[in-house]
Amino acid sequence: MAENATAQERLFALRAQIARLEGKSLPALAAAEQAQAAERPECGKTRIKQPRLPFGIDPLDVALEGGLPLDGITEIRTRSMGDAGAASGFTFALASHLKRRKADGAPVLWIGDVVSRQEAGAPYAPGLGQFGLKPQEVLYAVPRKLDEALWLAETALASRALSATILEIRGNLKNFGLTESRRLNLRTKAAGRPLFLLRHAGEEEASSASFRFLAEPAPATGRRLPDGSVLGGSIGYPVFRLILEKSRNPAPLSFLLEWNPHDRQFSLNSKAGEVFSFHAPPAHSGAGLPASADRQDRAPTLGHIVALERAS
């Protein structure tokens, strides 16, 4: 009997240890915490749970258990290099959103990849400025080797001097596997600073990231006129089609997210900007606006994508 109890206790200790490593709360631990909170309410309030970055969109925040973890890795991947614009846009939008939420003066570090820079261009400061990140708020680094990039990411996280670190990589690299991602995850846990991992043209792979998004481009919204109507044929705020591939959710979640660079916040966009037939002239050429009857909604339905494109 006594042996059994010792074994039980050891098992419980091991479980607690694993839970601590993974940053999750064990049911028993959670219950103990609640009991403690009930006894001393002020203690429960001051105790900071896992810091989160909420999107400000209820269904999404529920699916993310309160938002993106500020002490963990969030991976954003694309299927091909051509979607680099959407993926880097979403990543920078996250960083900008984070800076607005936390009113943090610390800069964001962008650790670029040499080949991606040639393939998809380098982040452009004036464009970033319009996107919601001031040029002096972003630090760029383009290390030559992956080892250096990983070291840089680790140092950046450990220093706690940066509000967010973005690590750009291309494809699924042999030298950046579960071990490395686990190491970085531990760093983020210790420092309480987020790491956004931007993986161009990569497959799904096991990693320590808390969440993984698949980013795809989506038609932008039209420009809104002062009277509330939409200027037809114009290209306004960017929209990303995101699939939440890895999360605690049982089913992958697919949604369209619009980024408003002026207010620096996200909003759900069920209907993408109207797509017109290409007889319509461009918005700003002064050639007149397309007739509204000419437009049609070409945004594909969400369920369709999930059913067909989900790989694993």
Partner 1 sequence: MRLTALDEVSERFGLRRGQGLTEARAMFPAIHVMDEDEAADRALIEAIADWCDRYTPLVALDGLDGLFLDITGCAHLFGGEEMLLKDILGRLFQMGFDVNGAISSSPGLSWAASRFGLGGVISHDGIEEALAPLPVNALRLDAMAISSLHKLGLKRIGDLLSMPRAPLARRFGTSLLQRLDQALGLHEEAISPRRPVAALSVERKLADPIQAEEHILQLTGQVASSLKPELEARGVGGRIFELVLFRVDGCVFRISVRASRPLRDPKRISSLFSERLATVHDDLDAGFGFELLRLNVVEHEVFKPSQDDFTGDGQSDASFADFVDKVSARLGANCLQIAELRQSHLPERAESFLSAMAARAVGKNVEEAFAFMPKADRPLRLFRYPEPIEAFAATVPDGPPQRFRWRRIVHRVVRAEGPERISPEWWLDGKDAEERDYFRLESETGRRFWVFREGHYKTGDAAPVWRVQGIFA
Q: Are 73 and 197 in contact (CB under 8 A)?
A: yes
- Give 152 or 306: the residue with its C-beta nearer to partner 1: 152
Shortest reach from residue 256's CB to partner 1, in Å? 10
Kindly give the pairing relationship between strand 230-231 and strand 223-224.
antiparallel
Instruction: Choose, by CB under 8 A, the member of 83, 154, 180, 245 that binds partner 1.
Output: 83
Instruction: Choose, by CB under 8 A, the member of 161, 302, 305, 306 that binds partner 1.
Output: 161
Report CA 229 to chain centroid distance, whole Å.
30
Radius of gyration of the chain from Cα atoms?
22
Which residue(s) pair with 216 in the sheet?
A: 241
Q: Taking contact as CB under 8 A, which single stretch among the options 2-10, 11-19, 60-68, 76-84 is the one that binds partner 1? A: 76-84
Among residues 264, 213, 258, 240, the alpha carbon closest in space to that of 96 is found at 264
Among residues 95, 170, 81, 175, the alpha carbon closest in space to that of 137 is found at 95
Which residue(s) pair with 111 in the sheet?
A: 141, 167
What is the Cα–Cα distance from 86 to 241, expressed in whole angstroms?
A: 8
- Give 97 or 210: the residue with its C-beta nearer to partner 1: 97
129 burial (CB, 10 Å; 0-12 / 13-18 / 19+) is: middle
- Strand, coil or helix: what is 86? helix
Site membership for partner 1, residue 100 (CB under 8 A): no
Instruction: Choose, by CB under 8 A, the member of 19, 146, 275, 302 that binds partner 1.
Output: 275
Instruction: Choose, by CB under 8 A, the member of 58, 148, 297, 309 that binds partner 1.
Output: 148
Shortest reach from residue 93's CB to partner 1, in Å? 7
Site membership for partner 1, residue 156 (CB under 8 A): yes
Q: Taking contact as CB under 8 A, which single stretch among the options 24-32, 178-186, 206-214, 273-281 is the one that binds partner 1? A: 273-281
What is the footprint of partner 1 within residues 127-146 (CB under 8 A)? 127-131, 134-136, 138-143
What is the Cα–Cα distance from 233 to 87, expressed in whole angstroms?
A: 24
How long is the chain?
A: 312
- Give 11 or 158: the residue with its C-beta nearer to partner 1: 158
Which residue(s) pair with 213 in the sheet?
A: 76, 244
Q: Taking contact as CB under 8 A, which single stretch among the options 7-15, 125-133, 195-203, 244-252 is the one that binds partner 1? A: 125-133
Site membership for partner 1, residue 278 (CB under 8 A): yes
Q: Taking contact as CB under 8 A, which single stretch among the options 32-40, 154-162, 200-208, 302-310 is the one that binds partner 1? A: 154-162
Phi, then psi, of 235 in degrees rounded to 5: -110, 110
Q: Which residues lie near partner 1 (CB under 8 A)? A: 82-86, 88-90, 92-93, 105-107, 120-131, 134-136, 138-143, 148, 151-152, 155-156, 159-162, 216-220, 233-235, 238-241, 259, 272-273, 275-276, 278, 281-285, 287, 298
